[in-house]
Amino acid sequence: MIKRRLPAILLGLLAASLTLGPVPAWADEPTSGEPPKVELVLDVSGSMRATDIGGRSRISVAQQAFNEVVDALPDATQLGIRVLGATYKGDDKKVGCQDSQQLVPVGPVDRAAAKSAIATLRPTGFTPVGLALRGAARDLGTGETTRRIVLITDGEDTCAPPDPCDVARELAAQGIHLVVDTLGLAPDEKVRRQLVCIANATGGTYTSATTPEQLTSRIKQLVDRAKDSNAPAPAIVAGGADCAKAPLLTPGVYTDRERFEEHRWYRVPVRPGQELRASVSVGLDRPVNRDYGVLLRATAADGRELVRGTDAGSGRTDVLSSGLRWSPADAAEPDPSPSDPTAAAPPPVCLVISNSFAGKGAAAAQSPGLPVELTVDVVEASPAPDSPGLGRGWLLLALLTVAGLVTGLLAGWLTRWWVRTWRTN
């Protein structure tokens, strides 16, 4: 029984070890006074004329929701509005698939002007979702903090290429700190899959809305979430092909991209008396074959493996995580003079992230690589990995023996008392 439960116990200890102790600083931590920025992207294609949301047309429900959101918008939030399929009424697909405009530029909101622009919208043309996402990314620009796009549509892209999932991965790989949340207005499985793919590629969320109240409430939540995005984003780093070419990392949070079955290397200085703690999460932003995994290892500069990470389940199926902790005291050959301040610093520890992913189908996208988030911290060495604190060897055996003896005596006494009482009655 103990052997069966040991992996779960160790996993719990690992999770605790990675969460306890000093919180790592953001890599190259910036300070930013940028206001929260969000752009609403609304589908105004012909299908938005359908009257299946509480007996009202999809476009009228969306317009009402937009008006309520604009009225409730915090003053500090900068808002922009972009539409797709709103102007071209013809049948020329080449022309119709270029139909995307920004109605309201990203900035402090002029509520009257925004609601006036929304009121003039009439369902018209095609559905160039990929084009609109690229336009919204340009509208929001770049900066040190996260920007958000809220995409509201009732149908899948009718203009690919570019495929909107590929566009979402492309934007995420640019490292411009862009998150796309998607809202679906039609109970269609193909639409749902596409919107989930867009959201997953950028770390966003997908939700369907089938009533006016759901749509209004969800847009308000997503716009309000923008104010929580005004925090430093992970630093962008490119892992090396081997330890010698790996970038040198200080404690912090980093983001990278890794192709299928690739190894990415990083180096972290760890002195005697210190402990390395690292964790990695890899997002599954595209369909992959079954039987996959992520491995995080720490090695010496000469390639000797020092410790191998343990899987850390989070309950999510679109993210795989692993974590490890290591200190020089665990090494087979500790530093010969750890107390000498003049001694040369030991060579950095090498971290390597490996994966066993394979894309579904021959045309599965390899580029950009899967999103990787790496957290690195170096703290004062702790004896916690050696023992859960209950003791070991003869001391633990004696404790278990005494506990078993006392339990047996109590159980025997209670049994005799119960039998005597039962016979008397």
Same domain, 189 and 86: yes
Regarding pTM above 0.75, the answer is no
- In DSSP terms, 374 is beta-bridged to 254, 280
Model pLDDT for residues 166-181, shown as the tens digit of each residue: 999 999 988 778 999 9
Same domain, 74 and 216: yes
Same domain, 215 and 275: no
Q: How far is residue 357's CA from residue 179's CA, in Å, rounded to a whole number?
A: 24
Same domain, 221 and 303: no
What is the predicted pLDDT for the residue at 316? 64
Q: Is residue 2 part of a domain?
A: no
pLDDT greater than 50 at residue 160? yes
397-to-221, 390, 391 alpha-carbon distances in Å:
56, 11, 9
Total structural domains within the chain: 2
Q: Is residue 26 part of a domain?
A: no
Q: How far is residue 307's CA from residue 331's CA, in Å, rounded to a whole number?
A: 9
CATH number, domain with residue 150: 3.40.50.410
Task: Give the model's confidence band at 286: pLDDT under 50 very low, under 70 low, under 90 confident, else very high.
Answer: confident
- In DSSP terms, 291 is beta-bridged to none
Task: Quote the tokens at residue 382.
Answer: 């702790």
Show the domain range for 238.
Answer: 234-383
User: Any long-range contacts for 417-422 (C-beta under 8 Å, 24+ apart)?
Assistant: none
Task: Give the model's confidence band at 21: pLDDT under 50 very low, under 70 low, under 90 confident, else very high.
Answer: very low
Q: Is residue 397 part of a domain?
A: no
Same domain, 68 and 154: yes
HEC string of 226-265?
HHHHCCECCEECCCECCHHHCCECCCEEEEEEECCCCEEE
Same domain, 188 and 280: no
Q: Describe the strand order of the beta sheet including 37-43 as a list of residue ranges.
A: 100-107, 78-84, 37-43, 147-153, 178-184, 206-208
Please say whether the beta carbons of 393 and 291 come within 8 A.
no
Q: Is residue 7 part of a domain?
A: no
What is the predicted pLDDT for the residue at 7? 34
Q: Which residue has the tokens 């005597």?
A: 420
- Of 199, 229, 259, the last residue of a domain is 229
pLDDT greater than 50 at residue 6? no
Sign of CA dihedral 243, 245, 250, 255: negative
Lowest mean pLDDT among 53-67, 283-297, 370-384, 404-418: 404-418
Q: Is 50 exposed, middle or buried (0-12, 13-18, 19+ CB in 10 A)?
A: middle
Same domain, 224 and 320: no
CATH number, domain with residue 371: 2.60.120
Same domain, 175 and 79: yes
Same domain, 202 and 319: no
Greater model confidence, 174 or 144: 174
What is the predicted pLDDT for the residue at 143? 80
Same domain, 264 and 211: no
What is the predicted pLDDT for the residue at 278? 94
Same domain, 211 and 302: no
Task: Quote the tokens at residue 61.
Answer: 């429900």
Same domain, 270 and 143: no
Lowest mean pLDDT among 155-159, 233-237, 273-277, 394-398: 394-398
pLDDT greater than 70 at residue 91? yes
